[in-house]
Amino acid sequence: MKTIDGRGLEPPKPFELVMEGIADLESGDSIKLLLDRMPWPLFRVLDRDGYRHNETIREDGVVEIEITAP
């Protein structure tokens, strides 16, 4: 699974990288996103476009999000 590391990037760069990343996904394929915080605005766009997403907060505070194409 492809991983996008958005940590340490100034907004909206991580958002843009995710949008470019998910544009190439086949139905059912997933990508992983690593961030320093919960990206609430991104979830809205993912929900609007029918992508599924699961979030976990790792022990080191990094937010790990798995995004799956509809």
Partner 1 sequence: MMPAGAALGYDATPPISAPLRYFLTAPFFGMLAGLLLLISPDVLVSRWTPGALALTHLATLGFMVMVMVGALFQILPVVCGAAIPMAGRIALAVHLLLVGGTVALATGLYKMSPPILTVAAALLGMALSVFLLSAMIGLSKVGSGTGSQRDVRLALIGLGVAALLGLSLALTRAQGLPLPMFSMLQLHLGWALLGGAGLLLAATSWIVVPMFQITPSYPRAMIRFWALSCTGALTLWSISVLLEWKILSLILLGLIVALTALFLFTTLVVIGKTRRSHPDASYRLFRLGIWSLIAGLVCLLSTLVSDAPMLRILAGVLIIYGGFVSVIEAMLYKIVPFLAWLHLTQSGIKAPNVRQLQPEDGTRNQLRIHTVALVILLMAVLLGNDWLTRLAGAAIVIEFGWLFFNMHGVLSAYRKTRTDSPARRYSSAA
Q: Which residues bind partner 1 (CB under 8 A)?
A: 8-12, 15-16, 19-20, 22-23, 36-38, 40-41, 43-45, 47-49, 53-56, 61
What's the burial of 53, exposed, middle or buried (CB within 10 Å: 0-12/13-18/19+)? middle
Q: Between 29 and 49, whose beta carbon lies closer to partner 1? A: 49
Long-range contacts of 53-60 (CB under 8 A, 24+ apart): none
Closer by beta carbon to partner 1, 3 or else 16: 16
